[in-house]
Amino acid sequence: MNIVLFLLEYIRVVILLLLGHGLLVGLEGWLLSHFSLHIPDNAFLLLFIGNFCILLILYRNLLQFKGWFVTKQTKKLSLRQNLILLCVAVISLSFAFMW
């Protein structure tokens, strides 16, 4: 039974990452279009890194506790880990838009 719940949670994480990344890229593109800017084609990796950090913070601090596979080892990220991931996200997204 644990294997089935683990696989369901794994599929849920992959779907959340794909949908979340798609929504964030769409939102970023929409915001930039209002300022007559565009997302460069060669900045996809930087966008992915920044969006992945944002989604990782969201998942580890909120969404992992609402899933199917909850164990005793699941815990929130520390404040230091949150700040490091947030800084990486901001730096990579700002470089992606200035590329």
pLDDT digits (tens, 9 = 90+) for 15-25: 999 999 999 99
pLDDT surpassing 90 at residue 50: yes
What would the mean pLDDT of 36-40 be, rounded to a whole number?
A: 80
Residue labelled with tokens 């929130």: 76
**Given pLDDT bands bounded at 50, 70 and 90, which one contains residue 98?**
confident
What backbone phi and psi angles, to 5 degrees, belong to 36? Answer: 55, 35
- Quote the mean pLDDT of the chain: 89
Give pLDDT, residue 66. 83
pTM of the model as a whole: 0.85
Helix residue spans in 1-99 (DSSP H): 2-34, 44-61, 79-98
